Amino acid sequence: MRRLVSVASLLALAALALLGGCGRPQFSDAEKKTIASLALNTLPALKADTTNQYADVPAAAALGSTLFFDVGMSRDGTVSCSTCHKIDRQFQDDLPQAVGVGRTNRRTMPLAGVARDPWFFWDGRRDSLWAQALTPLENPLEQAGNRAAFAHYIKNRFGERYERIFGPLPDLSAVPANASPLGTDAEKAAWNAMPASQADAVNRVFANIGKAIAAFERSIEPPQTRFDRFAIDLATGTKPQGDAAFSPEEILGLKLFIGKANCVSCHNGPRFTDNSFHSTGVPPVKDLPPDRGRIDAVAQVQADPFNCFGKFRDGDASACRELRFMVKDGQDLVRAYKTPSLRGAASRPPYMHAGQFSSLDEVVAHYSKAPAAVEGVSEVHPLDLSDRERAALVAFLKTLSE
Amino acid sequence: MRHAARDVISRRGTGLASIWRYVLAGLGLAALLVGILAVVYLTAPHSASGPDTSRSKKTASGLFMASFEPERGVIRQGELQSWLLTLKTAAGAPVEGAAITVSGGMPQHNHGLPTSPQATDYLGGGRYRIDGVKFTMSGWWQLRFAISAAAGSDSVVFNIVL
Ligand SMILES: [Cu+2]
């Protein structure tokens, strides 16, 4: 009898050991495939941007870099792109809402891999990197300038460099010092009084400023992380060594990320984003103007004279398929925001489009609880993660910042 | 396993005590088996009979035969792609001049399509190019076509699982 019991328990132990511990591989084949698809080595080479013929011209990138850091590129000479996109802070500013000349209503987005985005800003209200770069220049809360002033500034300050890249600058002698279709009433009036050919010439200089800045920004790519070293070792069957080895908590977090917690549905591919827009029920911020996300950005990108259909695009319209086939209405777009990349996220709180959450713990708690959206419908369902599971997810996310 | 079983059998006794031994041994082994099955079941990928993913089917009211294929043969997640929708009548004649609208989404995810695909070209032989198709995540997608042609109006849903 005793022997029988011991035989049975031995068998049970052996079975458990086989299934639960030493013998079992840590990840199923399907999990391994998903993990490999997230690794940075699967990021394809950056595609040419045919809408910007200067995208890969080194002199354009160099001028773009100068302009990116130049506070002269603002109304009061105090704000540049780099004021919010700080080079030593992943090109973001650690603030819940960006502060340029004034305080905006959105979180500054980091720039690693930005040239791979089909849509720009949290709501996708611009459709190319160069068209994006123009927008803060004239936003009264960001650089607060106007395109006529920028054209004069470029001619006075960088005329030679500009002309070596883009050809002769237009005659600006009759162009008002300040004029823009988006500016103050006086600037609008000055703009409307300009002959069409003059406005067109200013718009072309303005577009080229964006193309130079975009050429610079194309060089900003995400760095390899601990996760990537772990993923490559897993894919090649090498035992991860040193910091490429994951702790049991990090492994649990990774398994949850690609499994039960469904994070990988949207945060997929080597940039951890599907480049799309989703409502996840993130609450609005008190005291900020109403923000409806993607649904209000559709008309803005359609109306932008610098969009892909506009005359400042280089190359042909075959590059405009994202704009051509974009979703223009429907409840899906209400309070929908772009899926941000998670690379480097752990070291750049706060989170979400207006800095609603101050830590990754709060982010994960939000997705675990999945509250209803204040408007529209949230796509996420409650996960009811345990404390241990939430902590594991955060531990895994940190491997994307190390 | 087999050795253990033989061991149990070889220790045959007589009387009531030995029957109890058999019962206990049986119970132990049964419990073990249930445990193993449970673990196998819980860890196995659940490939429950998913949606019908055939690329060729009759439209809802049987008016047309429809088939739907990626134009370049492969589906690439996250890329805008063109697909071909081929429409034939029940008799096998190509359907020409059809007006086609496309809708869809992910039934399990509370969201529609990330793009709005359109029928952009008629390629002859009942073949229509459906451009602007993009699948941004893995899982079960549905594409629904509303088709209007001389023979009448009908619709068809294709399931695509990535
Ligand atoms: Cu989905």
Nearest-angstrom CA–CA distance, A368 and A370? 6
Query: Known binder of ligand: residue A320?
Result: no
Q: Both B78 and B118 in a single domain?
A: yes
Name the H helices within A85-195.
129-138, 147-166, 185-192
Q: Are A28 and B28 within 8 A, CB to CB?
A: no
- Asked if A302 has any chain B CB less than 8 Å from its own CB, the reply is no
- B137 CA distance to ligand 1 middle (Å): 6
Residue A262: name the closest of A402, A393, A131, A399 by CA. Answer: A393
Cβ within 8 Å, pair B80-A19: no
pLDDT of residue B6: 39
What mean pLDDT is reported for chain A? 95
Does this model's pTM top 0.90? My answer is: no
Tokens 């209503």 belong to residue? A105
What pLDDT band is residue B2 in, cutting at 50, 70 and 90?
very low
Note whether B91 and B132 are same-domain residues. Answer: yes
Using the beta-carbon criterion (under 8 Å), do A330 and B32 form an inter-chain contact? no
Of A7, A266, A324, the CB nearest to B137: A266
Contact B32 A11 (CB under 8 A): yes
Does A85 count as an annotated binding residue?
yes
Please indicate if any CB of chain B lies within 8 Å of the CB of A44.
no
pLDDT tens string A20-57: 444 457 899 999 999 999 999 999 999 999 999 999 99
Instruction: Report CA A41 to chain centroid distance, whole Å.
Output: 19
- Single out the residue in B10, B26, B43 at which a domain terminates: B43
CB-count burial class (<10 Å; 0-12, 13-18, 19+) for A332: buried
Write out the DSSP string of B25-67: HHHHHHHHHHHHHHHHHHHS----------SEEE-TTSSEEEE
Per-residue pLDDT reduced to its tens digit, A335-392: 999 999 999 999 999 999 999 999 999 999 999 999 999 999 999 999 999 999 999 9
B56 shares its domain with B23: no
Nearest CA in chain B to A267: B137
Q: Is it true that A29-43+223-293+334-398 and A58-217 share their CATH fold?
A: yes
Of A11, A19, A274, the CB nearest to B39: A19
- Mean pLDDT for A222-233 is 97
One domain, residues B131 and B67: yes
The yes or no reply on domain A29-43+223-293+334-398 and CATH 2.40.340.10 is: no
Q: What is the pLDDT of residue B33?
A: 54
State the amino acid at position A320 in one-letter form.
C
Tell whether the model's pLDDT for residue B113 goes beyond 70: yes
Dist CA B128 CA B96 (whole Å): 9
Q: Which residues pair with B159 in a beta bridge?
A: B142
| Shared domain check, B132 and B83 | yes
Contact B112 A275 (CB under 8 A): no
Q: Please choose, from the candidates A265, A281, A266, A261, the residue with its C-alpha nearest in 3D space to the C-alpha of residue A384.
A: A261
pLDDT digits (tens, 9 = 90+) for A274-303: 999 999 999 999 999 999 999 999 999 999
Instruction: Read off the pLDDT of each residue in A14-18 and give the average, rounded to a whole number.
Output: 47
The 8-class DSSP code of residue A300 comes to H
Radius of gyration for the alpha carbons in chain A, expressed in angstroms and rounded: 25
- Chain B residue with Cα closest to A24: B43
Among B110, B120, B121, B162, the residue to mutate for chain A (most A Cβ within 10 A): B110
Output B14 or A60, whichever has higher pLDDT: A60
pLDDT band at B25 (very low <50, low <70, confident <90, very high): low
Partners of residue B144 on adjacent β-strands: B103, B157
Poorest-pLDDT segment among A85-89, A223-227, A239-243 = A239-243
Domain extent for B133? 51-161
Amino acid at B70: P
> Does the pLDDT value for residue B23 go beyond 90?
no
Check residue B24 and give its pLDDT.
Answer: 56
A327·B114 Cβ contact <8 A: yes
Contact A144, A135 (CB under 8 A): no
At B5 the pLDDT is: 39
Which stretch of DSSP H or E encloses residue A197?
A: helix A196-217
Residue of chain B with shortest Cα separation from A265: B137
Contact A297, A123 (CB under 8 A): yes
Q: Which CATH superfamily is domain A58-217 in?
A: Cytochrome c-like domain (1.10.760.10)
Among residues of chain A, what percentage have pLDDT more than 90?
Answer: 93
| Structural domain boundaries in chain A | 29-43+223-293+334-398, 58-217
Number of domains in chain B: 2
pLDDT tens, position by position, A101-157: 999 999 999 999 999 999 999 999 999 999 999 999 999 999 999 999 999 999 999
Please tell me whether residues B84 and B37 are part of one structural domain.
no
| CA distances to A132, A183, A317, A353 from A200, in Å | 19, 17, 20, 34
Predicted-assembly ipTM surpassing the 0.95 threshold: no
DSSP-based three-state secondary structure for A366: helix
Distance B127 CA to ligand 1 centre (A): 29
Chain A residues within an 8 Å CB radius of B121: none
- Token look-up 């206990």 returns B24
Task: Output the CA torsion sign for A202, A56, A343, A66.
Answer: negative
Tokens of B131: 């451009």
Specify which residues B121 forms β-bridges with: B129
Confidence at residue B110, expressed as pLDDT on a 0 to 100 scale? 82
Report whether pLDDT(A16) > 90.
no
B4 falls in which pLDDT band (50, 70, 90)? very low
Q: What is the DSSP letter of A325?
A: T
Determine, for residues A8 and B80 on separate chains, whether the beta-carbon distance falls below 8 Å: no
* Element of type H or E holding B121: strand B118-124
Map residue B138 onto helix, strand or coil: coil
Subunit contact A265:B109, Cβ cutoff 8 A: yes
Phi then psi for A125, rounded to 5 degrees? -85, 0
Which member of B29, B40, B45 has the closest CB to residue A30? Answer: B45
Kindly state whether residues B58 and B25 are assigned to the same domain.
no
pLDDT tens-place string over residues A325-343 = 999 999 999 999 999 999 9
Measure the CA–CA gap between A47 and A64, rounded to whole angstroms. Answer: 19
Do B36 and B55 lie in a common domain?
no
- B109 Cα: distance to centroid of ligand 1 (angstroms): 5
Helix residue ranges, H only, A339-402: 360-369, 387-398
B-chain residues within 8 Å CB-CB of A324?
132
Comparing CA positions, the residue from A338, A331, A340 lying closest to residue A376 is A331
Adjacency order of strands within the sheet including B152-161: B111-112, B99-106, B140-149, B152-161
